[in-house]
Structure 1
Amino acid sequence: MSVARFDFSWLDDNYHQETLENLRVAVKNVKRLCAVMLDTMGPALQVHNKSGNPIELMADNHVTITTDVTREPSAEVLPVNYSGLAKAVKKGDTIFVGQYLFTGIEATSVWMEVLETSGPDIKCLVKNTATLVGFIFTMHVAQVHIDLPTLTDVDKQAISTWGSRNKVDFISLSYTRHVEDVRELRAFIKAHNLHETQIFAKVETVEGLRHFDDILQEADGIILSRGNLGIDLPPEKVFLFQKSAIYKCNMVGKPAIITRVVDSMTANLRPTRAEATDVANAVLDGTDGILLGPETLRGLYPIEAIKIVGSICAEAELVCNQSLHFKRINKHVGEPMSHAESVASSAVRAAVKVKAAMIVVFTSSGRAARLIAKYRPSVPVFAVVIPRLRTDSLKWTFTGASQARQLLGVRGVYPILASPNVATSGGSSEESGLKIALNHGKSMGLLKPNDQVVVFQKVGDSSVVKIVALQDQRYI
């Protein structure tokens, strides 16, 4: 696991704080970096089943969706937390309810057809037999605009307290529909002293897809939430939008994450063949990361799910046509290139020409590492993050830890956080940092004697790409 997602559509601050403390202990135990992502609730429609009793719904029966949340959910009535739902839907619309939002596991989610509305109530026809299990069920209405703010009061409370207190690395903005949603969140987190936190826009509706280009320009990364997209879009259209979105992310060098990949592993030890192929194809398309949801939240085999998905990704990366990605990105960027794009692409080209074992890049903000990763080198990128001394006029602090963790969201990048004394050691900082990177590469089995390493660093206002041979005893 590279990034731990804390989903604030479930449970409270205390639960998430306990989980975060567990994560911090685990990070120290395994001596690995792990980023923290706060996932907002957004304008999610939810049915709260306070008793936790299973609700059995039978195909061809009728059920009433009501906005009276004081009523107990049952096979006859489902109370939802949105007073305007009856006005938003019409006869013939499709409504989905369940823990897994109709991922194909019909036993745990149900889809219904709207028959009529009467005041705040919606009468529906149940289309499949299913048992709703759990305390919270998510409701989604296909291609219907929900007139609720993307950044809700619940989200603002979570960010301003838990998020600010824990200096989260990422915020995942659920149900991002317009570029203004991202801008609003950006302004909000800056007002709460989260200047380093990155925003990943979660695109999960047709409305978000319509404004995808603008959203991509403003966000730091994109999460394609295929659970809801698979409902809003006809099944035969999902792959097309996924490929298009990943391609656009690749061209501008921003991370693309996809979700809902091995849903069958919530209850089974192995994924289906279709799921395994789906994960591999996402890697070949250029996705940066795989986000697991129910597989690790409620699944019976969370560790196995991560291991298997990781193995599939590794296998797909072995046959990935990186040179094709390189050519596509070069063509998209065009000429004349900016100075930064030129040297980043040159570093990747040099690594190919000399058959380098890895690329080492020195960075403070992470931008240089992202630019190199954008050109999809066929070798690992070791990003040595040099801490930067900063002051807010009251105290001096080192930045760098968050920047290192944020690089875990970028494909092919291995971030290494240098110690503050490297940052303050003057001209020897790069040499010291390079030794750290090379030793780390050797410990991981990525480097052997006589290997060549491409090094990217800034010297004053210039950027330098050089090649280091491992037989040079200074770097052994």
Structure 2
Amino acid sequence: MHSNHLLLEEPIRMASILQPSKPSFFPAMTKIVGTLGPKSRSVEVISSCLKAGMSVARFDFSWGDPQFHQGSLENLKTAIKGTKKLCAVMLDTVGPELQVVNKSKHPISLQADSFVVLTPDQQREATSDQLPINFSDLSKAVKTGDTIFIGQYLFTGKETTSVWLEVKEVKGEDVVCLIKNSATLDESLYTLHVSQIPIDLPTLTDKDKEVISTWGVQNNVDFLSLSSTRSAEDVRRAREYLSELGNLKETQIFAKIENVEGLKHFDEILQEADGIILARGNLGIDLPAEKVFLFQKAAVYKCNMAGKPAVVTRVVDSMTDNLRPTRAEATDVANAVLDGCDAILLGAETLRGLYPVETISVVGKICAEAEKVYNQDLYFKRAVKYVGEPMTYLEAITSSAVRAAIKVKASVIICFTSSGRAARLIAKYRPTMPVISVVIPQIKSNQIRWTVSGAFQGQGKGGGGRFGRRNLLST
């Protein structure tokens, strides 16, 4: 990691902390990704979320059918028209996710120091003694002493609804585990995570491909969030698949890093992907707790220097049930911005949380405060130094544009682009003002027919353009 200086402007006057923040047209440069679900899918709530600062709507296909998500998306389109706020669409794949199958949906009580059997036989009933799972090769993947975590999907951090297991014995296809803490599994969908054990399942599953080729194509999605990305090849395969589908050629692929395999291959994944999502929920299980911050800082720095968006997840879990974040969570959001992250992704907090609008509002306010003291000058010098000389023509133009805009205190930077590349490079240098990209389509003719190309798809379809870095908008 190459980060010697704190990206914080000094000195901060204590008196300024007590002064109320002034409202601004752009509440925060840092983007907020909100996951739409049961508590946040009505036109009214989505409209409030957009006004509060949500600029990307995430549709998570780990639960809910395409019809449910289509209904949410139609409501999003209505809300966009009503509020005149742009919002991009992100499709989140299921990926190689291991799940506990509880067909009866009855609560399952697990007692510490007791034993439970994980079985691939999904016909068995889920009880306190046995839990059927959707993966037949678990017995081949684990060994005695391995740690397994079972938690509610979009886990909120409550120990009463999640359980740690230790593998004690492998009996044929069954895995016998010791329960480390008492817990009650009281929902139908629980995910299972084996610490630092490779799972031999494809990253882009058949179910994912079906959703992308139908729902994704139909709605011309802006982003594909590729769950459990483990190698650059995963990203390449996903891009090839999108290219085959025609109208998703310009859909950006954000690689979601959530296990040790993804961490090991991070540099090569970053080269292939359009952006990175640091899925701290699963990463926090795969890594020792004291190592998570190191990965975040190193990964965000690498994304910054590559000029690709870094998205951080799992920052205000407690707001799923509470109106205010904890002090630690509020500090965590600010530190993520000071580290250089470009977007905050909200999961359970907006999907099924009690306060989706308040969560977006609070996170936006914290981001805005952190941005005010962000040391842009130090960052700019570091980014220019990292690129080195000779610079490419485009790097030289975009970095100079940012420097000039800051020196003359410009209100906004307007970038004319056909691919969006110039706008993304401008945003790489983190100007203190918004970047508005005006897309000029490229028109070609072979004397028989005209073709138009350029990064303009998705406009007026509930999309709203893509974000190149944290202050890139599309018009």
Instruction: Compute the TM-score of the two structures, normalised by the length of structure 2.
Output: 0.84
C-alpha distance 406-280 of structure 1, shift in aligned 2 (>3 A): same
Shift, 1:109, TM fit:
1.1
| Residues 427-446 of structure 1 deviation map (CA, whole Å, 9 limit, x = unaligned) | xxxxxxxxxxxxxxxxxxxx
For the pair 1:364 / 2:418, whether they are aligned, the reply is: yes
SS at match of 1:159: helix
1:160 — aligned with what? 213
From 314, 318, 321, give the equivalent of 1:260.
Answer: 314
2:238 — aligned with what? 185
SS at match of 2:467: helix
For the pair 1:410 / 2:466, whether they are aligned, the reply is: no
Shift, 1:174, TM fit:
0.5
Matches of 1:184 and 1:15 in 2, distance apart?
28
Matches of 2:444 and 2:324 in 1, distance apart?
48
For the pair 1:349 / 2:403, whether they are aligned, the reply is: yes
CA RMSD of aligned residues (A): 1.9
Matches of 2:161 and 2:449 in 1, distance apart?
54
Matches of 1:49 and 1:111 in 2, distance apart?
18
2:40 — aligned with what? none
For the pair 1:31 / 2:90, whether they are aligned, the reply is: no
Q: Is the 8 A contact 1:96 1:102 kept in 2?
A: no
Matches of 2:465 and 2:139 in 1, distance apart?
42
SS at match of 1:408: coil
1:118 — aligned with what? 171
Matches of 2:295 and 2:218 in 1, distance apart?
37
From 359, 363, 378, give the equivalent of 2:432.
Answer: 378
Shift, 1:332, TM fit:
0.7
1:308 — aligned with what? 362
Matches of 1:378 and 1:71 in 2, distance apart?
58
Question: Could you list the runs of 5+ residues in structure 2 that have no partner in the other structure?
Answer: 1-53
1:140 — aligned with what? 193
Residue 127 of structure 1 aligns to which amino acid in structure 2?
A: K
| Residues 147-182 of structure 1 deviation map (CA, whole Å, 9 limit, x = unaligned) | 111111111111111111111111111000011100
From 141, 151, 158, give the equivalent of 1:98.
Answer: 151
For the pair 1:251 / 2:305, whether they are aligned, the reply is: yes
Matches of 1:233 and 1:328 in 2, distance apart?
29
Q: Is the 8 A contact 2:155 2:348 kept in 1?
A: no
Tell me whether 130-139 or 174-183 shows the greater mean CA deviation.
130-139
Shift, 1:59, TM fit:
1.5
From 285, 291, 297, give the equivalent of 2:351.
Answer: 297
Shift, 1:398, TM fit:
7.0
2:106 — aligned with what? 53
For the pair 1:272 / 2:326, whether they are aligned, the reply is: yes
2:37 — aligned with what? none
For the pair 1:238 / 2:292, whether they are aligned, the reply is: yes
Matches of 2:187 and 2:119 in 1, distance apart?
19
Matches of 2:133 and 2:376 in 1, distance apart?
47
Residue 431 of structure 2 aligns to which amino acid in structure 1?
A: P
Residue 66 of structure 2 aligns to which amino acid in structure 1?
A: D
C-alpha distance 395-122 of structure 1, shift in aligned 2 (>3 A): farther
From 375, 389, 402, give the equivalent of 1:335.
Answer: 389
Shift, 1:102, TM fit:
6.1
Count of residue pairs the alignment pairs up? 416
Instruction: Compute the TM-score of the two structures, normalised by the length of structure 1.
Output: 0.84
Shift, 1:83, TM fit:
0.4
Residue 55 of structure 2 aligns to which amino acid in structure 1?
A: S
From 325, 337, 360, give the equivalent of 1:283.
Answer: 337
SS at match of 2:121: coil
1:204 — aligned with what? 258
Of structures 1 and 2, the one with the larger relative CO (CA 8 A, separation 6+) is 2
Shift, 1:384, TM fit:
2.2
Identity %: 65
